[in-house]
Amino acid sequence: MYAIIAGAGKVGRNLARELISKEHEVTLIESSRVTYLANEDEFEHNLQYGDATELWVLERAGIQRADLVIAVTGDDEDNILVCQVAKEKYLCDRIIARVNNPRNHDHFKLLGIQPAVSATDLILRLIEHEVPRYGLVHLLALEEERLEIIELEVTPDAPTVGEKVVDIQLPEGSLIISVLRGGAGFVPKADTVIEAGDEVLLVLDPGLEESMTAYFAPNGHAAAF
Amino acid sequence: MFVLIVGAGRLGSSIAKSALASGHQVSVLDLDPLSHERLDAGQSKSWEDSGGQFTVGTALETEALIQAGIERADVFIASTAGDNTNLVIAQIAQKRFNVEKAIVRVMDPARAEWYGQQGLQTICPTKIAIEMFERTLAPAPVEA
């Protein structure tokens, strides 16, 4: 695979190292002369000096044959531009953008720059996971595929406690994919009985999260939303 | 018409003043409060006394754009110092706020051309300067 990475800061360099160690072809593009010179020895021909938002710089890096373009500069507008041009002008199939300021996340979405990864959002997710105040944890949203994976802790008063998975009538577009019990996870079978305190992982069509609490955490409902 | 100008540098502030003088409603957004001085320079009255609006904020902040009146803007002009900022905010104006006319200053001719083909109205001062220089250096042969 050939990947172009815009921005040779900490994120860009570590991504490049990882991809190179997995024997992928990588070009890092860095617009700061100082950063470029500081990393030239390590990355040699894998590092190019230039502004990745300039079309000729991308073309020099061979964007026409890139399988993946990753924009991880410290500037959100630059990251949007690099990905937009990669996707729409050079028809690159896969793009990944870094969101520096989480308030800009909507702009990435609006302009079709997906996936857009924000460190702040990731840390917030981790906090949610560690401190499940809301009962329902959003694990993953696959927007392109229109699927979500959520985690719910089963409360003792839930109607599904004591029920076999096969007997639980969940809405169309939802499925229990895993149960975490006593620190271990397993894929449930038809005769698995749901217990209070289980953490269930569900894969859902978007928009179904709210209805899931009624099955697994009825009193968590108010707190969850 | 209601004209919203983001970036009150030499270009933005000049357009703001002439648009106001031609009777348009003009709102200016800039992240530097001192850029207001450019709007007052050479005028007998202050920008606000002449009927202009000025908001401090960055154009990527949705609240700042709303405060500056983007929801009722007929024309959006992106004239900050950054090409990429201009290109992104003009698309936000078009796609999120449905502003009818978005005009973008883009210094880089290549980006100006491509985004021009994508439906943004781009103005490239570099390209204009290049053409002027070329005309000066190599005058077109006189038609027979």
> Do A29 and A7 meet the contact criterion of CB atoms below 8 Å apart?
yes
- Does residue B87 sit at the A interface (CB-CB below 8 Å)? yes
Helix residue ranges per DSSP H, chain B: 10-21, 36-40, 62-67, 83-95, 109-117, 125-137
B90 or A150, greater pLDDT = B90
Lowest mean pLDDT among A188-192, A214-218, B34-38, B138-142: B138-142
Q: What is the Cα–Cα distance from B31 to B34, expressed in whole angstroms?
A: 9
pLDDT of A55 reads: 97
Nearest-CA residue of chain B relative to A103? B61
pLDDT band of residue A224 (cuts 50, 70, 90) is very low
A54, A85, A104 ranked by CB distance to B60: nearest: A104
Lowest mean pLDDT among A52-56, A109-113, A151-155, B90-94: A151-155
Which chain B residues are within 8 Å of A78, Cβ to Cβ? 84
Nearest CA-CA distance, residue B84 and chain A, Å: 6
DSSP A154-210: PPTT-TTTT-BGGG--PPTTEEEEEEEETTEEE---TTPBP-TT-EEEEEE-TT-HH
Nearest to B58 by CA among A32, A71, A116, A100: A100
Averaged pLDDT score across all residues of chain B: 94
CB atoms within 10 A of CB A108: 23
Cβ-defined contact of A111 to B110 (cutoff 8 Å):
no
Nearest-CA residue of chain B relative to A59? B110
Cβ-defined contact of A77 to B108 (cutoff 8 Å):
no
pLDDT at A183 over 80: no
- What pTM was computed for the model? 0.76
B60, B82, B118 ranked by CB distance to A107: nearest: B60
Lowest mean pLDDT among A129-133, A194-198, B91-95: A129-133
Distance of CA B133 to the CA centre of its chain: 24
| Mutant choice from A55, A77, A85 vs B, greatest count of B C-beta within 10 A | A77
Q: What is the mean pLDDT of residues A188-204?
A: 90
**Structure-token match 């991880």, residue found:** A72
| Amino acid at residue number A115 | P
A55, A77, A89 ranked by CB distance to B82: nearest: A77
> Do A160 and A194 meet the contact criterion of CB atoms below 8 Å apart?
yes
Say how many CB pairs under 8 Å bridge A and B: 45
Residues of A with CB under 8 A from a CB of B: 53-56, 75-78, 80-81, 85, 88-89, 101, 103-104, 106-107, 110-111
Q: Is the bond preceding A115 in cis, omega lying within 30 degrees of 0? A: yes
- Does residue B18 sit at the A interface (CB-CB below 8 Å)? no
> Do A139 and A204 meet the contact criterion of CB atoms below 8 Å apart?
no
pLDDT of A144 reads: 64
